[in-house]
Amino acid sequence: MNTQPQVLVLGATGKVGGKVAQLLAESKQVKAIAGVRSPQKAKTLQEQGIEIRHLDLDKQDTLVPALEGIDRALLLTGYTVDMLKQSKAFLDAAKQTGVQHIVHIGASGAPTNEVAHWGWHQYIEKYIESLEFSYTHLRPEAFMKNLIDFGWLNQGVVTNYIGDTRWSWIDSDDLALVAAETLQKPDIHGGKIYPLGYDTATMSEVAKILSEIIGKPYRIETRSPADFLENMLKFGAEPAYIHCVYTQFKLNIANQIPNTDATFDNFEAITGRKPTSWRGFVEKYRQELTY
């Protein structure tokens, strides 16, 4: 009989959840179970020995069966305003089936109430608390991988929508490491809110680091937040969420969001490792970043 804590990982066919599931499976401290809506995307997870359960956050009847016997869960949603109703449905089902600990992937906790999707994540945090789960709230800053995943880098050109703003950044693999640790040790990390951002850079500085490490010229091309919005809508982004990001960029350029370059010294204490710098990230993803 398996007496290990059972951990359900959402988003396991995506970037952060996929890495968390892999780390948990490797650690062997808990049993990792992936809750996925597209089983055909889950073959690699299966090959890693991870149990797959069908779960679609938009289909309420899939939630309780997927949560059967689960002790802890990683709550992660996609880039959509539906995150609010999806998270509520998931948390209600998790309460019903007796889940103890929730680790939630949120977003920046920067002190502004004008960037709505940051607030949406904080509503979800409050809902987790109101249901009296043990919890760990993770608040990552911008992912370095956005450069690769969102098409912000093309043939040596870094598209810059944020003017001279200096952002705080995190390698999403580091976020996954923190999530995996907190899922394995809820006794240590319960009741904690962790802001996660470990290196700062403007887009010009990112281009400079790319040039230095890859040894080819990289430059920025500055575009307006309105261009960003238009492009993202054209490629099918969910309108409400992407409007929030558009607002964030506009406020960034107007220098109206405080502490955009805040970094935090909690990574080593949580994981026992050093966080990834921009230079380290470029070394690690050299192949994807080169042209």
Ligand X SMILES: NC(=O)c1ccc[n+]([C@@H]2O[C@H](COP(=O)([O-])OP(=O)(O)OC[C@H]3O[C@@H](n4cnc5c(N)ncnc54)[C@H](OP(=O)(O)O)[C@@H]3O)[C@@H](O)[C@H]2O)c1
- The residues binding ligand X (CB under 6 A) are 10-11, 13-17, 37-38, 41, 55-58, 76-78, 86, 105, 107, 140, 142-143, 146
Residue 73: closest CA among 141, 5, 151: 5
CB of 168 to ligand X, least distance (A): 10
Instruction: Name which of 2 and 10 has its Cβ closer to ligand X.
Output: 10
Nearer to ligand X, 41 or 208 (CB): 41
AA identity, residue 279: R
CB nearer to ligand X: pick between 28 and 235: 235
Minimum distance of ligand X from residue 162's CB (angstroms): 12
In this structure, the number of other CB atoms found within 10 A of the CB of residue 201 comes to 19
Residue 72, token pair as written in the block? 């802890």
Residue whose beta carbon is closest to ligand X: 14
On the 0-12 / 13-18 / 19+ scale of CB atoms within 10 A, 181 is buried
Q: Which is nearer to ligand X, 19 or 101 (CB)?
A: 19
Smallest distance, Å, CB 226 to ligand X?
Answer: 20
DSSP 3-state assignment of 86? helix
**Min dist. Cβ of residue 148 to ligand X (A):** 11
**Shortest Cβ distance from residue 215 to ligand X (Å)?**
27
Q: Alpha-carbon distance 287 to 44, whole Å?
A: 21
Query: Residue length, the chain?
Result: 291
At 115, the amino acid letter reads V
Q: Which is nearer to ligand X, 60 or 224 (CB)?
A: 60
